[in-house]
Structure 1
Amino acid sequence: MVRLVRLKNMGRSLIMKKLLSKSLSAILAGALLVSAIMTSCGGVDSSTEGNTSNTSDNSTSVSEGSSAAGQENKTLTVMGPAFLTPEKQQDWAECINEQTNITIEYEEAPLVYADSVNKMTTMLASGDDSIDIYHIDELMILSYLSAGFLEPIEDVVPMETTNDLLPGYAEKFLVRDNHLYGVGAELTGILFFVNQKMFDEAGVAVPTNQEEFIEAAQALTKDGQWGLIESWDKVSHLQDNLNRWSMMFGGDYLDWTNPKTQEAIKFMYSLAQEYKVLSLDSVADNYEIANQKMNDGLGAMYFQWAGAAQTFKSGGTYGEEIVVAPMPTFETNHTPMSSWMFVLNKNSQNKDVAKEFLNAMTESDAVTLFEAGTRQVTTANTAAWKDPDLAPLMNCVEEHQAYLDAGSLTVRDLLIKQNEFMDTAMGTLQRYLLNEISFEECIEQGQKQIDELKN
């Protein structure tokens, strides 16, 4: 195996290239499918990272002409994030080309998540074959598998390639009826961010359990600062927080009859209404607003997707004031993880080439180069986390590894109709948190709404 290394000075990225060892229908009711999957996923806001605009022609050819002499030069069209810079496109595509002789035609997806969902779903539902490979998230793959939009790939990409993914992830999102439908791209978890400076100045220890958590939150709620910041907007992150709290209490956020889930819901209410360590303004705070509040020193503790670290790094607070602490153990220390993946369009006319590409993307170097140029989160391929050359290219690798070693990172459950779940059940939960309905009304109404979505 040959690894090609190029170091770019003065703050530019370390770029790795490795000659890889492996070779690389009818129109549905698209509007209904789009509405089922338009939700915030993975905690990374694509509207604020990387490129800030799209051009009318979003297709770029990269690595053309670099194939080995005398070998076939194959072309493949991949739709991925709009914030993969041209330089990073080239580095990633060259890595693929060196092994497979595939030239990547890269087409940017719309910058806004909902627009990406709409465009991809419409194209797939219409039988469009202009895109061979799509880069999608968990909600999208659940919907697309249900609709029959994707091509199985296990005839070229071995099932064993899922061994480097988190346990249970492939079974939940990539495999159906013993067929493999995708390869993991990136992974991010909800981490426990704390303002270490605030803790030190107050002489308070970072909490490790429920009792310590309450005590710390109360001690640090003072002088216009809150012990805890959360994003409780129902259109996005309230579901993430309910999911995480339910996990921590040993419950299931999609089963409100579960006593442990009910305990988690009551605890969320208590944070705002009884302990008063969290502002009720949280119900209007989305991801960006909550991130900024934490960055501005308005809160001591914050559970959020790892992408928030980029906000703190940009604000000059990460590593000095704001750090990631181990997940405190309530009933459990579990926290949700989210991932995106590459999948093959069933209508593609280049299936053999596409499968070769997907096989290459199971290798650590190739997928890490892609992530280095996009969201700078960790790879779904956990083997890359321990590679001393690749790990620096990613975001919060040591933090994710510590969570993985502690048994915290947990594959989350999602409904195909997750958007409706947020509109209905999360609206009901919000009313309870605001003291507009009783706990009993919340549980009864919320579970009824969930049951209707499951049927």
Structure 2
Amino acid sequence: MKKYVLGILFCSCLLGTGIGCSEKAREEKIPETGKSGQNEITIMHVDADYPEFQKFIDQAEKDLDLKIHIVSYPENADNRQAEVSTILSAGEDSVDIFSVNDEMVSEFKYKGYLEPLNDTVMTEDILSCYPESYMEHIAMLDGKVYSVPYYMDIMVFWVNKSMIGDMEIRTQEDFQRLLETDFGEGRYGYGSAWDSAYVYNELSEFINFFGGSYYDWNSPSTREALTFLADIVKKEQTPIEQITDQYEQLEQKFLEGTYASIFVYSGTLDMFVRAGAYREDFIQLAPLPRFKENVTNIAAWQYILNKSSANKEAAIRFLKYAASREGSIAYAEYMNRLPVRLDIIREEDLDIPGFEQLREYVENTELKERPFSRNTMEDITSMGALFQRYVLEEISLEEFCKGAQNITDGF
């Protein structure tokens, strides 16, 4: 994969060419219905089991005169990726459209599994409404667009107000004070998900905080972030047991009061709302604490079109709807999630809990797409396993950095 700088400013798209959404795109209409016999598709979707998502699908079926079958994913991230990969690599046509994360599209776009969408869905006028650097480095390859991002995930700072009260965490010093606060046995100021397939999120986040680079493991700032994470384990300010946790376990522990704060993507808001936990006296979205740099990760979920699909005409109609202003807003408001289209974030007052705070993140925080290679999951888990050995004190900082550099040199 072409090596590129992790520090591309996402928010610059708001102010520069990335926000140049054309008038044609602003006035786009819901796609016309297709021909008889081409009105049925199957989508494998991460939201399949949510009633609110079914309402979105019901609306899409009505608007498009289209029958949409929804198939569930396995809950485990590794199993999810393996299932999609198996279907695509075998050339099966049982699923027309998949909802995938950055990790999956970053790998699949190199393998010839996906239908390019430049000429049908992500035309120039529509593409101009999306964050430019994100699309270039995640959704595109060799000038072709292979996905339709449908919701934006920003790594944000969540706090449990029932634990921290009126404590403000705005600086690195404030965060350190939170870590040092005694919340009782088995309770911590901060926790995370350090499973080998997940910890790269937190690792890249703290490298961002300290002004380092995920590509340069000799950088003093990168090493400062690593030392910080190792030290809070040694001081028992965060539990080493979290090396077995993915986001599902982290979020449950947060709701149970194990952690006073976490860094988790903004898409979690919907789960907190449905659990009745998103309220002033409990779970709240807070401003990002400022370390050396005011920067955080961006991710997205997106649709890809199976190149082997026998229902491409109908599938493209759905994808046009998902990319349209109407479809983007409908999904966002049903699911309490931020759309990826920047024109919508800037111009609409969406009926989403926390929308103004999320818009503040987009407008005032430097947001970076995460670093991926063409061997996405292999490299992610290799880095995660290496980091686990480091915080378990099985290898030194020097040994970790040497191994990490070997991994990212292949990006």
Same fold (TM over 0.5): yes
After superposition, where does 1:426-445 map in structure 2 within 5 Å? 426-445=384-403
Q: CA deviation at 1:310?
A: 4.5
Q: CA deviation at 1:386?
A: 5.8
Instruction: Name the CA distance, whole Å, in 1 between partners of 2:175 and 2:373.
Output: 31
Check whether the contact 1:159–1:180 (CA below 8 A) recurs between aligned residues. Answer: no
| 2:225 pairs with 1:264 | yes
| Map of 1:377 onto structure 2 | 337
Q: CA deviation at 1:252?
A: 2.5
Name the SS for the 2:190 alignment partner.
strand
Check whether the contact 2:57–2:68 (CA below 8 A) recurs between aligned residues. Answer: no
Q: CA deviation at 1:403?
A: 0.7
User: CA distance change for structure 1 residues 264 and 155 in 2, over 3 Å: closer, same or farther?
Assistant: same
Instruction: Name the CA distance, whole Å, in 1 between partners of 2:163 and 2:51.
Output: 41
CA RMSD of aligned residues (A): 3.0
Aligned-pair identity (%): 24
Q: Deviations over 1:305-361 (max 9, x none)?
A: 224444544554422222111111222121112111122222234434433332222
Q: CA deviation at 1:217?
A: 2.4
| Map of 1:40 onto structure 2 | none
In structure 1, stretches of 5+ residues that fail to align are: 1-18, 25-66
| Map of 1:170 onto structure 2 | 135
Check whether the contact 1:228–1:277 (CA below 8 A) recurs between aligned residues. Answer: yes
| TM score, norm. by length of structure 2 | 0.81
| 2:235 pairs with 1:235 | no
| Map of 1:331 onto structure 2 | 292
In structure 2, stretches of 5+ residues that fail to align are: 1-26
| Map of 2:375 onto structure 1 | 417
Instruction: Name the CA distance, whole Å, in 2 between partners of 1:126 and 1:268.
Output: 42
| TM score, norm. by length of structure 1 | 0.74
Instruction: Name the CA distance, whole Å, in 2 between partners of 1:184 and 1:386.
Output: 17
Q: CA deviation at 1:242?
A: 0.1
| Map of 2:242 onto structure 1 | 282
| Map of 2:29 onto structure 1 | 21
Q: Give 2:319's aligned amino acid.
A: L
Query: Which structure: larger Rg?
Result: 1
Name the SS for the 2:361 alignment partner.
helix
After superposition, where does 1:313-392 map in structure 2 within 5 Å? 313=273, 315-319=275-279, 320-370=281-331, 376-385=336-345, 391-392=350-351
Q: CA deviation at 1:446?
A: 2.7
Instruction: Name the CA distance, whole Å, in 2 between partners of 1:85 and 1:125.
Output: 28
| Map of 2:357 onto structure 1 | 399
User: CA distance change for structure 1 residues 426 and 96 in 2, over 3 Å: closer, same or farther?
Assistant: same
Instruction: Name the CA distance, whole Å, in 2 between partners of 1:88 and 1:226.
Output: 34
User: CA distance change for structure 1 residues 95 and 444 in 2, over 3 Å: closer, same or farther?
Assistant: closer
Instruction: Name the CA distance, whole Å, in 1 between partners of 2:256 and 2:214.
Output: 31
Instruction: Name the CA distance, whole Å, in 1 between partners of 2:244 and 2:116.
Output: 41
Check whether the contact 2:81–2:104 (CA below 8 A) recurs between aligned residues. Answer: yes
Instruction: Name the CA distance, whole Å, in 1 between partners of 2:52 and 2:232.
Output: 46
User: CA distance change for structure 1 residues 116 and 372 in 2, over 3 Å: closer, same or farther?
Assistant: farther
- Report which structure shows greater RCO (CA 8 Å, sep ≥6): 2
| 2:85 pairs with 1:121 | yes
Check whether the contact 2:211–2:221 (CA below 8 A) recurs between aligned residues. Answer: yes
User: CA distance change for structure 1 residues 116 and 286 in 2, over 3 Å: closer, same or farther?
Assistant: closer
Check whether the contact 1:129–1:345 (CA below 8 A) recurs between aligned residues. Answer: yes
| Map of 2:205 onto structure 1 | 244
Report the number of matched residues.
Answer: 380
Instruction: Name the CA distance, whole Å, in 2 between partners of 1:104 and 1:125.
Output: 26
Q: Give 1:263's aligned amino acid.
A: E
Instruction: Name the CA distance, whole Å, in 2 between partners of 1:74 and 1:396.
Output: 39
Q: Give 2:218's aligned amino acid.
A: T
